[in-house]
Amino acid sequence: MKDVKNLKRTIDEISIKLTKLGTELGEIKFSYKVEAKPSKEYWEKRMNEFKKYNEKGLEYYNQVYAMMNLINKEESQMFLLRTSKFRQLGLELLEIMQKIKNNPSITDPKDKQQSLWSKDIKNKITEQSNKCLNHEREMNLSFRNFYQKELKKISE
């Protein structure tokens, strides 16, 4: 009985942290939507916003992992792998953003004579943004399912 109380208390503590981190993530207001803005300042600002968002997202998902790990080690390990992939996808997105920041004309919709390299980078940023967004959705769905299946039993 004491173990169940400790487990509930720990889950409640992590839930409070998750709520706080979720609020902070919402305040960052980062969007994966790619905009065609050919300005170095825009891309620098976007990279900084994404770095903040990604760091806070990693904090959030590490707390989710900690909560899951209390209840189901196997599922938590799978979630840890997803968190690692979230980090990797974010690093790849930052690399592409850096290329655009170094050469912002890549995203200029008025430039009709873009090189294949520019078109490739433009396609990659859209593709990578979509990968990040979809992966994050999958992670959130995975946690929501875990919450419904495992955590509701304990909190009742």
Query: What is the domain partition of the chain in residue ranges?
Result: 2-155
Q: How confident is the model at residue 45 (pLDDT cuts 50, 70, 90)?
A: very high
Question: What's the confidence (pLDDT) of residue 156?
Answer: 62
Taking only the tens place, the pLDDT of each residue in 46-61 is: 999 999 999 999 999 9
The C-alpha atoms of residue 69 and residue 81 are separated, in whole angstroms, by: 13
Please give the model's pTM, rounded to 2 decimal places.
0.89
Residue type at position 112:
K
Distance from C-alpha of 133 to C-alpha of 110, rounded to nearest angstrom? 27
Q: Say what the pLDDT of residue 3 is.
A: 84
Angle, in degrees to the nearest 10, between helices 2-28 and 40-71: 170
Three-state SS string across 20-52, please?
HHHHHHHHHCCCCCCCCCCCHHHHHHHHHHHHH
Structure tokens at 21: 């981190």
- pLDDT at position 152 over 80: no
Write down the pLDDT at residue 137.
Answer: 96
User: Closest Cα partner for 67 from 138, 143, 5, 137?
Assistant: 143
* 8 A C-beta contact, residue 128 and residue 93: yes
pLDDT above 70 coverage of the chain, percent: 96
Of residues 59 and 114, which shows the higher confidence score? 59
Neighbours of 15 (CB within 10 A): 15
pLDDT at 44 over 80: yes
